[in-house]
Structure 1
Amino acid sequence: MQIIHHGGIFGVTGSCHELVISDNAAILIDCGLLQGNDGAGGKRFPFIDFPLDRVKGLVLTHVHIDHCGRIPHLLGAGFQGPIWCSEASALLLPLVLEDAVKVGITRDEHLIARFLNAVKKRLVPLPYDRWHQLGSWDGRSASLRLQQAGHILGSAYVEVSVSPASQAEQTGTVNGTRGDTVVVFSGDLGAPFTPLLPDPKPPERADILVLESTYGDRQHEGREQRRERLCRVIVRALENRGALLVPAFSIGRTQELLYEIEDLISRHRTEEAAAGLPWDDLEIIVDSPLALSVTRVYDRLRRLWDEEALETVAQNRHPLSFEQMTVIESHADHRATVEYLRKTARPCIVIAAGGMCAGGRIVNYLKALMPDPRTDILFVGYQAAGTPGREILEAAKQKWETGGRPSIDLDGGTYPLRAAVHTISGYSAHADQRDLVEFVEGITVPPKTIRLVHGEEEARTALAGVLAEKGYQVE
């Protein structure tokens, strides 16, 4: 077997890995879009530049755009195989791809409907923790199992078992026995104790482990520390009497933030967040039609929530839909809200689509409010190199160190950065170095080889060093 990487090896976006099972058979693990400067030479290529003749199907770990955003191009290149994914991902994927196609390819409703119909026909939803036979090719049989990854709703890490076809037929099993090889692709692993979702549990075995390394060089704060920092940032922003802007991915990050903010309001309901502004009167603006659709799916699939979240619901609380929320759907309402906040600087929290500020409705909020010193910006997710989000973080650091007056290039214009900038990495929904190492150490039959992907060079190098010290063979 061979693993070929078509993205997600030199950076944190564009994940796409080809597991070659035989000369005439391979499967893809993810097919994501590159963002910022990720990729060889900093180039962005959304197209499929590798042959599909032997590709029998696509396994999707989750529906973030950096793991699924090249699917339109995959189908355009002639891919006709199945798309295996979790049951929740099968519900979410059409929503995500419809939004992505409208933003990046076409707004022709007829073409979009044809594309989504083609995607839905290829979807094969799979339950967690059950082996599924993929097929037999050239004397080899392959099977697949998905396990909860705790990253976003529906996220999974992937176990692929490959064995001689005759062996699988004789044993009557789909996952092979002693003669098989088990390859595990981590996808994106969630951090322990995140809101809503259960923690990921390591597999029993991984002969070859393809492991993400996004935060391989650092450790997150604990849940209580994160919540306390979130509270302090909110209070500071409200004391400034300006808006707190939170660029967030529509799937995962938005729902986790809503959960934590509802919890803060519930805990401090009778107190003032700032002078004259009770927590109970705090307005949270959610400006993302996709986030609204995704949140409805989250609510439908409460059976996948963790025990803490279910206990919250049992208390007759609604962590993803509460009275302090204002949801913005239409583009006209979005424009009106941006202009209203620009004129009034009304104290509020704005969670808007565009986690790395490279697109989405957050861009208009930044252009209008970033020059206002009363504004605060909070980053809760990873900002890839070459994205406006990374530029804002680096400019804020330079401003703090040198007292300069940086400007940010956004949407073809240049805007002064006078807002305060904050980060809370623990809400990134990615495991940190300690979590990744514990995941590896928790594998009962340890991996013979670990290949690190989905991380910038410093993160991959740091994680590789820690794993090598523990005796693992790291590529």
Structure 2
Amino acid sequence: MMTKHIEIKHHGAVLGVTGSCHELRVGDSGILIDCGLFQGTDYREDLDIDFEIEHIRALVVTHVHVDHVGRIPYLLIAGFKGPIFCTEPSAQLLPTMLEDALKFNDKYSKQQDKQILKQMKRQIRPLPYEQWQSLLGTDIKFRFQHAGHILGSAYVECEAAGQRVIFSGDIGAPHSPLIMEATPPTRCDVLVLESTYGDMDHESRVDRRLRLKSEIEQSFADGGTVLIPAFSLGRTQDLLYELESIIHDFGQDLAAPNVPWNKLNIILDSPLAIKITELYRSLKSYWNEDARKVLKQGRYPLAFDQLTIVDSHEDHLICVENITNSDKPAVVIAGSGMCAGGRVVNYLKALLDNPHNDIIFVGFQAEDTPGRVIVESGPRFGEADEPDEYAWVELDGERFEINAQIHKLNGYSAHGGQTDLINFAMAIDPPPKQIRLVHGETDAKLALQAKLQAMMSSVEVVIPLTEDVG
């Protein structure tokens, strides 16, 4: 309880990094900030809404990653009929993301899924950035500010009972392709801050494009295929944008023996990523200035000539077979980013056994996911003491030996690192009375808490220990 007038509760992203769902309550009215899915070690089989919603007047969405929106269908089933506020780009991306998420839902029928999506679309209310929105009949108003995380992402400034509360959502890092950078916050009394990378900074994003170029060239040195598991929203578009820029700037350089960059085949094999990429192209008015300059040069950073799109399942199976049996170099981008499902699994089954192939990971791999196992195990444990002691990963219930070369390329996270989070908090002037750290593993939150407390001695930095706390 912050005062006798305001309550802040956390219904998710307290004990881990997923399931973001926070509540701001004033008297007998409240709003939810996000309603996300639990994933990885936070996974829950029962996603039914387990908190009171009768007083919830609106849902405010920071961005459309599933760990922030994937539980919305369950909120609607529970009886929520209020408006779903989000930025204008998020309003176009949200239905596509939830339609895909519902494909993996076995609780409701396809007809129910259609009804849920139809109802959700009726409740969506897009808002421009920086425009205050009042909730009729309440003492609550809010607005969106750029968060620099993915297209359409925002942090939420709320005013209620004479106080201002900021919910950070996910804060991005500077120098992101396509995305406008985060707007520095000015003032607030309480900051609810994510802490995904509260204990570390990423490698520089400024030269990550050149590191990607070098990594791919080295991977092709001994033949084989390069596979990049990537998240469909954000990461895939970043990769395409930077691959196009490499082709534009270094087209005559050799990407592989006898194959220059401007002849290298880039394959995108992910139905969701294809849909999201098309939406990104339609939302180019929200791209940053650098990306719009590229368009003015007559270039197509998300639809360039070397890009091959694999849409249907039949074409996917043919592509896997061709990649496996061909000696022609290619870069394949496929989802899911943590290798826990999707078309990347078929590529892994086909490519992992061959030491000439390379797998490049560009994103965080959660504990207990196949991607985490591959990164930590491959390509081999070294000299095995026993003949059957080798590195392997389980895919669809079957073990596959890891002989391919495994690489991890940092600097592609859509999240800001520790320094970015600290800079975000310290931009607030005067400092907030309290910072509440959520959306992070325990070590990350403790590290960020210690740093913030040392640098902002007048601020109470707290870590909520249980969900649904005031």
Superposition TM-score, scaled by structure 1 size: 0.91
Cα separation, 1, equivalents of 2:392 and 2:129? 47
**Alignment partner, residue 197 of structure 2:** 215
Cα separation, 2, equivalents of 1:345 and 1:370? 16
Q: Is the 8 A contact 2:379 2:405 kept in 1?
A: no
Cα separation, 1, equivalents of 2:102 and 2:177? 30
**Alignment partner, residue 48 of structure 1:** 49
* Cα deviation 1:215-264 (Å, max 9, x = unaligned): 11111122233122211211122223222111111111111110011111
**Alignment partner, residue 417 of structure 1:** 402
**Alignment partner, residue 101 of structure 1:** 102
**Alignment partner, residue 385 of structure 1:** 367
Q: Is the 8 A contact 2:379 2:403 kept in 1?
A: no
Please state whether the residue corresponding to 2:104 is helix, strand or coil.
helix
Please state whether the residue corresponding to 1:184 is helix, strand or coil.
strand
> What is the root-mean-square deviation in Å for CA atoms of aligned residues?
1.9
Q: Is the 8 A contact 2:226 2:331 kept in 1?
A: yes
**Alignment partner, residue 473 of structure 1:** 460
Distance 1:277 1:400, change over 3 A: farther
**Alignment partner, residue 317 of structure 1:** 299
Using the TM superposition, give the Cα deviation of residue 405 of structure 1 relative to its aligned residue in structure 2, in angstroms.
Answer: 2.2
**Alignment partner, residue 2 of structure 1:** 7
Using the TM superposition, give the Cα deviation of residue 447 of structure 1 relative to its aligned residue in structure 2, in angstroms.
Answer: 1.4
1:221-232 residue pairs with structure 2 within 5 A? 221-232=203-214
**Alignment partner, residue 405 of structure 1:** 390
Could you tell me which amino acid in structure 2 is paired with residue 474 of structure 1?
Answer: V
Cα separation, 2, equivalents of 1:456 and 1:187? 16
Cα separation, 2, equivalents of 1:106 and 1:308? 44
**Alignment partner, residue 119 of structure 2:** 118
1:139-288 residue pairs with structure 2 within 5 A? 141-163=139-161, 180-288=162-270
**Alignment partner, residue 430 of structure 2:** 445
Distance 1:444 1:101, change over 3 A: same
Cα separation, 1, equivalents of 2:270 and 2:313? 10
Using the TM superposition, give the Cα deviation of residue 420 of structure 1 relative to its aligned residue in structure 2, in angstroms.
Answer: 1.7
Cα separation, 1, equivalents of 2:20 and 2:382? 34
Cα separation, 2, equivalents of 1:107 and 1:207? 42
* Cα deviation 1:269-323 (Å, max 9, x = unaligned): 1121121111111111111122122112211221211111111111111111000
Q: Is the 8 A contact 1:34 1:45 kept in 2?
A: no
Using the TM superposition, give the Cα deviation of residue 382 of structure 1 relative to its aligned residue in structure 2, in angstroms.
Answer: 1.6
Cα separation, 1, equivalents of 2:383 and 2:186? 48
Distance 1:270 1:397, change over 3 A: closer
**Alignment partner, residue 466 of structure 2:** none
For the pair 1:435 / 2:420, whether they are aligned, the reply is yes
**Alignment partner, residue 294 of structure 1:** 276
Could you tell me which amino acid in structure 2 is paired with residue 121 of structure 1?
Answer: R
Please state whether the residue corresponding to 1:246 is helix, strand or coil.
strand
Could you tell me which amino acid in structure 2 is paired with residue 297 of structure 1?
Answer: L
Using the TM superposition, give the Cα deviation of residue 109 of structure 1 relative to its aligned residue in structure 2, in angstroms.
Answer: 5.3
**Alignment partner, residue 37 of structure 1:** 41
Using the TM superposition, give the Cα deviation of residue 106 of structure 1 relative to its aligned residue in structure 2, in angstroms.
Answer: 7.5
Using the TM superposition, give the Cα deviation of residue 346 of structure 1 relative to its aligned residue in structure 2, in angstroms.
Answer: 4.0
Could you tell me which amino acid in structure 2 is paired with residue 354 of structure 1?
Answer: S
Could you tell me which amino acid in structure 2 is paired with residue 316 of structure 1?
Answer: G
Using the TM superposition, give the Cα deviation of residue 389 of structure 1 relative to its aligned residue in structure 2, in angstroms.
Answer: 1.7
Consecutive unaligned residues in structure 1, runs of 5 or more: 164-179
Identity %: 49
Q: Is the 8 A contact 1:38 1:44 kept in 2?
A: no
Distance 1:240 1:45, change over 3 A: farther
Could you tell me which amino acid in structure 1 is paired with residue 409 of structure 2?
Answer: I
Cα separation, 1, equivalents of 2:226 and 2:380? 21
Cα separation, 2, equivalents of 1:396 and 1:2? 48
For the pair 1:28 / 2:10, whether they are aligned, the reply is no
Cα separation, 1, equivalents of 2:257 and 2:380? 32
Please state whether the residue corresponding to 1:399 is helix, strand or coil.
coil
Higher mean displacement: 298-307 or 149-158? 298-307
Cα separation, 2, equivalents of 1:228 and 1:399? 30
Cα separation, 2, equivalents of 1:369 and 1:238? 14
Paired positions, count: 452
Q: Is the 8 A contact 2:384 2:390 kept in 1?
A: no
Distance 1:207 1:419, change over 3 A: same
* Cα deviation 1:156-210 (Å, max 9, x = unaligned): 10111102xxxxxxxxxxxxxxxx1111111111110011111102221121111
Consecutive unaligned residues in structure 2, runs of 5 or more: 1-5, 463-470
Q: Is the 8 A contact 1:380 1:424 kept in 2?
A: yes
Cα separation, 1, equivalents of 2:451 and 2:378? 31
Distance 1:290 1:273, change over 3 A: same
Q: Is the 8 A contact 1:8 1:453 kept in 2?
A: yes
Q: Is the 8 A contact 2:148 2:171 kept in 1?
A: yes
Distance 1:400 1:216, change over 3 A: farther
Q: Is the 8 A contact 1:146 1:159 kept in 2?
A: yes
Higher mean displacement: 384-393 or 198-207? 384-393
Using the TM superposition, give the Cα deviation of residue 108 of structure 1 relative to its aligned residue in structure 2, in angstroms.
Answer: 5.9
Q: Is the 8 A contact 2:377 2:391 kept in 1?
A: yes
Distance 1:286 1:106, change over 3 A: farther
Q: Is the 8 A contact 1:37 1:44 kept in 2?
A: no
Q: Is the 8 A contact 2:16 2:440 kept in 1?
A: yes
Could you tell me which amino acid in structure 1 is paired with residue 150 of structure 2?
Answer: I
Using the TM superposition, give the Cα deviation of residue 105 of structure 1 relative to its aligned residue in structure 2, in angstroms.
Answer: 3.5
Q: Is the 8 A contact 2:175 2:206 kept in 1?
A: no
Could you tell me which amino acid in structure 2 is paired with residue 386 of structure 1?
Answer: D
Higher mean displacement: 365-374 or 425-434? 365-374
Superposition TM-score, scaled by structure 2 size: 0.92
Cα separation, 1, equivalents of 2:339 and 2:392? 15
**Alignment partner, residue 468 of structure 2:** none
Please state whether the residue corresponding to 2:390 is helix, strand or coil.
coil
Cα separation, 2, equivalents of 1:304 and 1:68? 21
Cα separation, 2, equivalents of 1:283 and 1:94? 31
Could you tell me which amino acid in structure 2 is paired with residue 148 of structure 1?
Answer: H
2:439 to 439, 450, 454: 454
Using the TM superposition, give the Cα deviation of residue 3 of structure 1 relative to its aligned residue in structure 2, in angstroms.
Answer: 2.1
Q: Is the 8 A contact 1:35 1:44 kept in 2?
A: no
Using the TM superposition, give the Cα deviation of residue 26 of structure 1 relative to its aligned residue in structure 2, in angstroms.
Answer: 1.8
* Cα deviation 1:109-134 (Å, max 9, x = unaligned): 54433222101111010100010002
Q: Is the 8 A contact 2:84 2:125 kept in 1?
A: yes
**Alignment partner, residue 395 of structure 1:** 377
